[in-house]
Amino acid sequence: MNEYHGFHHKPISLFLFMLLLLLLPFFFLVFAGGVMIAFTRLGIPPALAYTLFWLSLIGSSINIPIKEWISEVEEIKEINFFWINYRIPFHGLKKTVLAINLGGAIIPLTIVIYEFIRLSNNQQFILEAIIAIIIVAITCKIFARPIRGLGIAIPAFIPPLTAAITALLISQENPVVIAYISGTIGTLLGADILNLHKIKDLGAPMASIGGAGTFDGIFLSGIIAVLLT
């Protein structure tokens, strides 16, 4: 009976794998299109937007170390000896590296600086941006949770939704730019900077601001927030 079921499940699993493989280019094109639309809506020329997209994509794998912590950790390790599990306390030192991601943090911050320079003569924009950043930062701080061995986690939909809703409520002239700035800086402050003191006690080997490690979502928060406005 088991062999009979296995015979039918293997072709189905292979079909799903091949379907996923064929759909990957489509998902990539949708993602790339969304990012390009977001960048052009921010007033960035198409050629520069295209360059920034690829820099963000390639830079997402580049983490630049900025600080290290050595902390004492206590763990319980399980050792199997003659089919009996023994729980042994372990006390030692662990290193945590704080890094900043090129594609997920440095490039978004560069775009934020560009937007502030571009609209620096608009005092209302500056005020709205500061208010939106504060709102998103407070929201991210409330929902961010320390997870041992990982770092600080936050539900992925919280920062972009908060940024988009805030921008639509407080800004009539520049909701798109406000959404991007608050989604980027607000997430950086609320989820990352305000929780740095907790990282060294969580036993995570690396905390990558804007990267795929402990911290994540700065880049995507800004992009999704723009697409939602």
pLDDT, average across residues 156-180 = 89
pLDDT band at 145 (very low <50, low <70, confident <90, very high): confident
Instruction: Give SS3 for 126.
Output: helix
* Partners of 146 in the β-ladder: 152
Residue 90, pLDDT score: 61
Enter the tokens of residue 68. Answer: 């290290």
- pLDDT tens, residue by residue, 146-162: 777 666 778 888 888 99
- DSSP 8-state class, residue 17: H
**pLDDT for 168 beyond 80:** yes
pLDDT above 50: residue 7: no
pLDDT score, position 119:
87
**How far, in whole angstroms, is CA 130 from its chain's centroid?**
21
How much of the chain, in percent, has pLDDT values that exceed 70? 69
Q: Enumerate the domain spans of the chain.
A: 63-228
Q: 80 or 133: whose pLDDT is higher?
A: 133
Token pair belonging to 134: 């504060």
Percent with pLDDT over 90 in the chain: 17
How many other β-carbons are positioned within 10 Å of the β-carbon of residue 90?
A: 9
Mean pLDDT in residue range 40-54: 81
